[in-house]
Structures are given as structure tokens and as C-alpha cells.
Chain A
Amino acid sequence: MTLGTAATGLRRIALAGNPNTGKTTLFNRLTGSRARVGNYPGVTVDRHYGRLALPSGGETELVDVPGTYSLSANSEDEKLALGAIAGLHPQERPDATLIVIDGTQLLRNLYLVLQVLELDGPTVVAVNMMDQVREAGLEIDFELLESELGVPVVPIVAKRGEGLPRLVAALERVLAEPGRANTKRRWEPEAALEDDVAAVGRTIPLLWHRESTLRCRALALWALLSVDEEDELLGVPADLREAVRERRALAGREGRHIDEEIIRGRYDWLDEHIGPALVEGNAPKISLTDRVDRVLLHPALGFVIFLTIMTIVFQSLFAWADPAIGLIEDVVAGLSDLLSTHLPEGFVTDLLVEGIVAGVGGVLVFLPQILLLFFFLGLMEDSGYMARVAYIMDRLMKTIGLNGRAFVPMLSGFACAVPAILATRTMERQRDRLLTMMVVPLMTCSARLPVYGLLIAALYPPGQGEPFVQGLLMVAMYLFSTVIALAAAAVLGRTVLKGRRTPLLLEMPPYRMPVWRSVLRAMWQKSAVFVREAGTVILVCTIAMWALLSFPKQTAEDLAKRQEAVATNVDLDAEARAAELERIETEFAGEGLRESYGGRLGLAIEPTIEPLGFDWKIGIGIIGAFAAREVFVSTMAVVYGLADEEDAESRVLRERVRDQEWPDGRKVYTPLVCFSLMVFFALACQCMSTLAVVKRETASWRWPVFLFVYMTALAWVASFIVYQGGQLVGLG
């Protein structure tokens, strides 16, 4: 077999390791690809693939496996890791495993290494963070390490690329001689445990052990340690389950503790054989991380700082994003103008300007805020602060039946529910995942911001009203959605998703200076995903909405006839005639909209939304927003006839919104209606992308349907209370 032949496909190297070992940084370095790097345990939820060039000129495929502390799978991530490293699925079989470990946590990290080595596959160990090892005054005897482990061990500093050529060369060596790569005997079970291993080993399927005795033993150990009634592992054969159950029951009767025997066996071996390879230096007694934590985790001060950091993040989100948003809007408006003046009038031009350009503009306009938010989230993750957030927030999460780990998905929900739902894979139990997925879409995602922005600006134009009123209203919306999401979690967790509370177990990584390049890369990568996945939906919907609101077309003759009537009316002077002509045109556009498919649909639902204070035009907007919330803004632009010659700039839209009247002349957008509408948007599940992701992650239609129904019902009831209640107490 030659390296990287097309006939056999690329050879695969699984990149494994504990969380927070710089695994993803190494992956990026080796492949040059754009993958996420983070400091929060388990930030890699999706598997990343990349090409790794070998010195000989061949290529392999490097797979970034989710970070894991061991192969006994508790979480989705660990299940993925287990599958990818152990190769239980034939398509997931790695040709070699590269394990990256944190040199400052050598022995703890080597626990996973031992497990992987037991699986009898070609393996290379990369000891990362060697710069910090040296700083801490630690010394590692690599010769001893290599001879005891029996596989290549290479010191590296992933973020600076140190040691990588040697690492790649070692990988090429083990790939070239897979049979010789990993033969050393390491830890051996005691006699009693050996019997268990033998008994369970007989039920390990051939597809798993592939006629390797060592591998079979390793998988028997894995099964003894992992399989039980509550494991949520899929694809474990019934006879294997039965064998494990029997042996564990037997051991229990003998007063033995199998879990402890296995884990202690490995740690004892490590202490005895690897311990001498590690020389502790005279590191400072109180580390920098400790000193920082004394402040950041201080019971009172820490919480104040936490709130301050969150406030700064969200304030800058609005302050910094605004100029960029304005610029994008100007460019889009300019382009629309240019196209409509230079292209012949007709269907294609309308489609281009009102559908495509408006749609693309509607997507791009989010980018400033999304980029900023992903930037801050990346900064918090990479610096190690995110783990502290989970620590600080566990109390709150616990009261609603979740643990501190749920905070990161919930927090990510402030950017977009789609990545947030993907982030729930770091949670251990299916029930916790589901619960988090069901409430994350309630968080104020960035797609709601344009809607809030429009409505708040319509209420209080920038530069008017009380100082800070716009910002305070926005903060209020964030608080509102958070409180509702927490309450929903508490309720759902006690009813629909009743289950046992899960423990919080979190590693506190040391604070590390974020690698700017990787923060920026991650920011860009995630934003690109948004543009690609949410963007296409938004674009299609904008076009669909344009069609919905433009067809059937009215006849131009009707307008001409009416205009002629005015023109020939001798009772009017020139000024009155011009005013009358303008009135007719507006009236005509309004009729056209009412007669369009969208208008009819909006009219049809008006009775159901009138109690919330919404007219049929808002109804059209709400229908459009089912595709994605932000579509509301572009739909309203079309509904209010802005996509034509007038630019769709939001300033114009705001004015249009303020001018809207009911047929009897009352203003549509009273403050109360704006609040009612904001509450509706805060709570309704108006996002096809979210529903699609939930469907994908739960592999059933049940949960997306449930999500949609409960959120929409909640939104209606809450808006009803706001509007009707507000009127009762005389607001409005």
C-alpha cells in the first residue's frame, strides 16, 4: 500500500485529546483549515476534516475528534469521539490516532492516551503547551516517556507551530509500519478483572475487534466501564450488554468495584512508569490563573464583573455595528437605484431589484452584529472565561433543571439559535440536550435585533426621547427573553421533559491569552455558516415574499383611467391636482397589495392577530417572518412600498412605520402595539432554520413541531396580555 493512493482513498488520522489541550489549534496548524479553537471544555461539536500533507509528498485526512477525558462515553461528544477513535463503525476506522495532550497536565492527560493505546492501533502522542511546561519549571523526560508508552512522543507548541515537522514525520513513520507501531504491553488487569475481561471479550463482535486480541481486551474493558442501563449508547449488542451486567453483578457480590479497579489500574501504572519522567520544578505557589480567579470568581465582585462584561459586549454590539450596518444599507440602496434606472422596466428587473438585491442586502446587514458577537464569544471561550461563566451561572441553571453547561448554548442563543442548538451536543444527557434545545430559541437572537431595532426606532427615533431609552428598551428585551427562557426551562423540565438532575462537572482551564488569529478565523467561519445557511433561506424567502406581494399584477390601465379623470377635472388647480394624483397612486399601490396573494393571506389572519393590536399588513410581515424573523423588516419594506424607487434604508422605513394608520385614522404603531409586536417576536418560533436544525439533532419531527406550537401559543398569549392589558389600564 502506498501513501495517499486514490484507489484506497486517503488514509485517515483521528486527532484526539482532552478538552483544552490546544487540539483544534494543532488541527488548524496541520491542515491550514479554518476550524474552531476554544478553551471551554468540549467546544468542538462538529467534526472537522482537513488534508494533512506528509513529508514524502503523500496526503492524509486529519479528523478533529471532539475533546474527551476518556473513552467511556457520557456525552454526545464522547460518543462521537469513541466512534472515531475506536473505529466501531467501519466507515469511521482511523488508520492512525494522533493524541494531543497538555504537557502541564501530563499524567491526567495520559489516562486517555493509555485507553487509546490499548486499542492496538498506530498512535502518536503530541505533548503540547511545552512553552508553559518550561515556564512552570517542569521537565519531561521524553525518552523515558517514549520507551514506556512504546509509541512516538513529540513535544510541540501548537500555537507557534513548534515541533510540527517532527510530529508529521512520526505520523508518516507509524502509517508506514502499522504492524510495528504499537506493540508494547502496558497495564495488565489483576487476575479477577482478567476473568471479567475474558468473559466479556467473548461477546465483542468481530466487526469491533477485527481479530486483534489486544483490541478485543481493550473493548471488553471499555464495555465493563461504560455499559449499563443508563448509558444511552446505541448499537451495543444484547449479548455484550448481558455479559457486562452478569460480570458486574458477580463482582458486586464479591465486594469488588470494577470501575475503580480499571481506573486505578491505569493511574497506578502511569504513576509508577511515567511519574519518574516528570520532574516538578519550583513553579510559583500562586499561579496567575489563581490570582485572576480571586477577582473574577469573587462572590460579589466576580458577579459584578460578569455582568459588566456582558453589558459591554452587548452595548458595543449596537454601538459598533451601527455604522457598518448603515454602510451596507447605503450600498444596497445605491445598487438598487443603479439597477432600476439602467435596466428596462419589467419582471426581470423587479425580481432582481426587489427580490434578489433586497434579499442579499437583508442578509448582509446582519453581518456586523454577528461578527462582533462571535468575536466576543470566541474571546471568552479561548481565554478560559467561559468555564468561569458556567461556574458562576450554575446556580441559576440548576434552579431551572439544567446545569452550568447549558449556559454556553443559551448564551450562544443570543447570537443565533442554530449554532446554539449544535452546541448542546456538549451536554451529557439527551434529556438536558432536548430541554436546552427547546428553550434556546427563546433567547434574543441576532435575527430579532433588526425587528426590535425598527420598532424601537419607530417609537423613539435616534437622538429623540429620553437619553438611553433605545438602549434600555433593548436591554429590557434581552432580560425579558432570558427570564421567559429560564421559566420555560423550569416548566418544561418539570413536565414534558421530566428527568433526573445531572451533575455539573467542569474543568477550570487556566487562563490563556487568546490566539487572535484563531478567534478571528472562528468568527469569520461561523459568520460564513450563517450567511450560507440562514442567508439562503432569507434570500429565497425575500424573493417568495416579493412574488407573493406582487402577484397577481394589477392592470396599469385602471390607474391611467383614474389619473386621467383627475387630469381632466377642471375644478382643481395645479397644486390640488398634483396632490390628488399622488393620493391616487398611493391608494392604487395599497389596493394592489391588498389584492395580492400575500395581502389576502394577511387579511385572512387579521382576525386572529387583531386582539394583539396588529393590522393585516403586520400580518403579512408575520407570515413572511415565519421563514426567518429578520424577513419581517424586508417584508414590511415591500408592504409599505419601499422597494421601488425609494431606497429601503431603514430610516425611510421607520418613518413609514410611524405613518401607518388604521382605516379610521388611528395610528397603527402606538407604543403599546410596538411592545405587543416585540413581545410576539421575542416568543414566537419564527425561524425555519431553527426548526430544521432541531429536526436534524433530534432525528424526529416531534420536537420541532412541539417547539413551534408551544412558542407560537406562548407568543400569542403574551402579546394578548400586553395589548389588552395595556388598553385596560389606559395605555395605548
Chain B
Amino acid sequence: MTTLDRLELGKSGRLIRLEGERALCRRLMELGLLPGCIVRLIRRAKLGGVLELEVRSCRLTIRSSEANLLFVEPS
């Protein structure tokens, strides 16, 4: 198991659990990032630890400082 920000670029993983602030977790889950779902890491902004990821064929951006609270099982 690893965290989302450490996922290899372009690779997907199964979300195991979300940690961190309630409001953020809730919003992430409402956007489809529920434990068990498949997340793919699309892109990393070189300048500043922002990640673009895909879940339920929808693109989201999130900071790596928050993505490292999302635990995934690389598939």
C-alpha cells in the first residue's frame, strides 16, 4: 500500500482509505473518490506538488500534500 501522491504517473490504484480533514474527505467522496474506487494519476505539476487525477472518468486536481493522506493499493 502506498499513498496517491507516490503512485507512478499514468498508473492506477484502488483507494483503500482517506485520512485528513472531514470537509476534504467528504468532498472527495462526493466527487466519487470512495474507498474501493480506482484512481489514476494523470499528471503532476512540476512547479508545485499539484496532482491531476482521474476517478469515474472525471478529472480532479488536488495537492500532493493532501494526496498523501489518500492510501491506495497500486493495481
**A293 near B30: Cβ-Cβ < 8 Å:** no
B1 at the interface (CB under 8 A from A): no
Contacts of A72 in B (CB 8 A): 26-27, 30
A508 at the interface (CB under 8 A from B): yes
Contacts of B56 in A (CB 8 A): 105, 107-108
- Would you give the 0/1 interface string for A507-525, flagging 1 where the beta carbon is closer than 8 Å to chain B? 1111000000000000000
CA gap between A74 and B63 in the complex, in Å = 18
Partner of B62, one of A69, A107, A398, A503: A503
| Residue in B closest to A399 when the chains form the complex, CB atoms | B48
Contacts of B50 in A (CB 8 A): 391, 394-395, 404, 504
Contacts of B24 in A (CB 8 A): 503, 505
Q: A503-B66, A505-B62 are in contact. Are A260 and B35 (CB under 8 A)?
A: yes
| Residue in A closest to B34 when the chains form the complex, CB atoms | A264
- Most chain B CB atoms below 10 A, which of A225, A299, A394: A394
B61 at the interface (CB under 8 A from A): yes
A288 at the interface (CB under 8 A from B): no
**B21 near A503: Cβ-Cβ < 8 Å:** yes
Contacts of A507 in B (CB 8 A): 31, 58-61
A300 at the interface (CB under 8 A from B): yes
A70 at the interface (CB under 8 A from B): yes
**B26 near A293: Cβ-Cβ < 8 Å:** no
**B29 near A263: Cβ-Cβ < 8 Å:** yes
Partner of A504, one of B21, B58, B61: B61
Contacts of B59 in A (CB 8 A): 507-510
Contacts of B47 in A (CB 8 A): 299, 303, 392, 395
- Would you give the 0/1 interface string for A229-270, flagging 1 where the beta carbon is closer than 8 Å to chain B? 011000000000000000000000000000110011001000
B25 at the interface (CB under 8 A from A): yes
**B34 near A267: Cβ-Cβ < 8 Å:** yes
Contacts of A510 in B (CB 8 A): 59
CA gap between A230 and B25 in the complex, in Å = 14
Contacts of A390 in B (CB 8 A): 61
A111 at the interface (CB under 8 A from B): yes
**B32 near A230: Cβ-Cβ < 8 Å:** no
Identify which of residues 378-412 in chain A touch chain B, using a CB-to-CB cut-off of 8 Å: 387, 390-392, 394-396, 398, 403-404
**A398 near B63: Cβ-Cβ < 8 Å:** yes
- Would you give the 0/1 interface string for A94-111, flagging 1 where the beta carbon is closer than 8 Å to chain B? 000000000001011001
**B34 near A74: Cβ-Cβ < 8 Å:** no
Minimum distance in angstroms from B44 CB to a CB of chain A: 8
A325 at the interface (CB under 8 A from B): no
CA gap between A504 and B65 in the complex, in Å = 10
CA gap between A469 and B74 in the complex, in Å = 55
**A69 near B57: Cβ-Cβ < 8 Å:** no
Contacts of B30 in A (CB 8 A): 69-70, 72, 111, 263
Minimum distance in angstroms from B37 CB to a CB of chain A: 9
Minimum distance in angstroms from B8 CB to a CB of chain A: 17
| Residue in B closest to A271 when the chains form the complex, CB atoms | B56
**B43 near A505: Cβ-Cβ < 8 Å:** no
Q: A264-B34, A267-B34 are in contact. Are A398 and B46 (CB under 8 A)?
A: no
Q: A394-B45, A394-B50 are in contact. Are A74 and B23 (CB under 8 A)?
A: yes
Identify which of residues 496-545 in chain A touch chain B, using a CB-to-CB cut-off of 8 Å: 503-510
**A263 near B62: Cβ-Cβ < 8 Å:** no
**B45 near A299: Cβ-Cβ < 8 Å:** yes
Q: A111-B30, A504-B61 are in contact. Are A396 and B48 (CB under 8 A)?
A: yes
| Residue in B closest to A228 when the chains form the complex, CB atoms | B22
Partner of A505, one of B45, B57, B61: B61
| Residue in B closest to A506 when the chains form the complex, CB atoms | B61
CA gap between A230 and B22 in the complex, in Å = 10
Identify which of residues 387-442 in chain A touch chain B, using a CB-to-CB cut-off of 8 Å: 387, 390-392, 394-396, 398, 403-404, 428
- Would you give the 0/1 interface string for B34-54, flagging 1 where the beta carbon is closer than 8 Å to chain A? 110000000101111110100
Minimum distance in angstroms from A288 CB to a CB of chain B: 13
A313 at the interface (CB under 8 A from B): no
**B26 near A259: Cβ-Cβ < 8 Å:** yes
A584 at the interface (CB under 8 A from B): no
Contacts of B46 in A (CB 8 A): 299-300
CA gap between A403 and B65 in the complex, in Å = 12
Contacts of B49 in A (CB 8 A): 395
A601 at the interface (CB under 8 A from B): no
| Residue in A closest to B60 when the chains form the complex, CB atoms | A507
**A297 near B27: Cβ-Cβ < 8 Å:** no
Contacts of B45 in A (CB 8 A): 297, 299, 391-392, 394-395
CA gap between A21 and B14 in the complex, in Å = 28
Q: A105-B58, A394-B45, A395-B49 are in contact. Are A503 and B63 (CB under 8 A)?
A: yes
Minimum distance in angstroms from B65 CB to a CB of chain A: 8
Minimum distance in angstroms from A482 CB to a CB of chain B: 16
CA gap between A392 and B27 in the complex, in Å = 22
Partner of A506, one of B26, B34, B60: B60
Contacts of A225 in B (CB 8 A): 26
**B28 near A505: Cβ-Cβ < 8 Å:** yes
| Residue in B closest to A231 when the chains form the complex, CB atoms | B23
**A259 near B29: Cβ-Cβ < 8 Å:** yes
Minimum distance in angstroms from B38 CB to a CB of chain A: 13
**A395 near B57: Cβ-Cβ < 8 Å:** no
Contacts of A398 in B (CB 8 A): 48, 63
CA gap between A503 and B49 in the complex, in Å = 12
Minimum distance in angstroms from A543 CB to a CB of chain B: 49
CA gap between A404 and B58 in the complex, in Å = 19
**A394 near B27: Cβ-Cβ < 8 Å:** no
Minimum distance in angstroms from A160 CB to a CB of chain B: 24
Can you give 11 contacting A-B residue pairs, CB < 8 Å? A72-B30, A108-B58, A263-B26, A299-B45, A387-B61, A394-B63, A395-B45, A403-B63, A428-B23, A503-B24, A505-B24
Binding site for B on A (CB under 8 A): 69-70, 72, 74, 105, 107-108, 111, 225, 228, 230-231, 259-260, 263-264, 267, 293, 297, 299-300, 303, 387, 390-392, 394-396, 398, 403-404, 428, 503-510
In the A-B complex, the 5 residue pairs with the closest CB atoms = A395-B48, A299-B46, A508-B59, A263-B29, A506-B61
A-B contacts besides A299-B47, A391-B52, A504-B61, 11 pairs, CB < 8 Å: A69-B30, A70-B30, A259-B22, A297-B45, A303-B47, A387-B61, A395-B48, A403-B63, A503-B21, A505-B24, A505-B61
